[in-house]
Amino acid sequence: DAGVIQSPRHEVTEMGQEVTLRCKPISGHDYLFWYRQTMMRGLELLIYFNNNVPIDDSGMPEDRFSAKMPNASFSTLKIQPSEPRDSAVYFCASSPGVDPNQPQHFGDGTRLSIL
């Protein structure tokens, strides 16, 4: 079974550059989540979608961050302009059904380093 697929696995770029992270959820899953994981704050929910519609973006740190889900099989998280403090591992997860009380399935993340 294909799980959640994220790309790229690693990204190193200079501050000020635009960064785009990509996610393909598990087919048939109605919910998609973006998380950020750092040593300082652990795993933080940034935003989640239900049926391609953003439901809660209260975790997005600031206007430099934006997320889209143009269709059921693809989502992007964009940072523009990027800053060194954005360095983290970014995870995408998806879950089935219309009830969020179901397990979320995670991708293997994108390790982002902003120099």
Partner 1 sequence: GESVGLHLPTLSVQEGDNSIINCAYSNSASDYFIWYKQESGKGPQFIIDIRSNMDKRQGQRVTVLLNKTVKHLSLQIAATQPGDSAVYFCAPSAPNNAGNMLTFGGGTRLMVKP
What is the DSSP secondary-structure string of 58-73?
A: TT--STTEEEEEEETT
Least distance CB 100 / partner 1 (angstroms): 5
> Whole-angstrom Cα distance, residue 78 to residue 16?
13
Nearer to partner 1, 36 or 114 (CB): 36
**Distinct helix (H) and strand (E) counts, the chain:** 0, 11
Nearer to partner 1, 7 or 80 (CB): 7
Least distance CB 65 / partner 1 (angstroms): 18
Least distance CB 112 / partner 1 (angstroms): 14
- Can you say whether the dihedral through the CA atoms of 101, 95, 75, 4 is positive or negative? positive
Q: Which of 113, 60, 54 is nearest to 83 (CA)?
A: 113
Binding site for partner 1 (CB under 8 A): 4, 38-43, 45, 48, 55-56, 91, 93, 99-101, 103-109
Nearer to partner 1, 16 or 101 (CB): 101
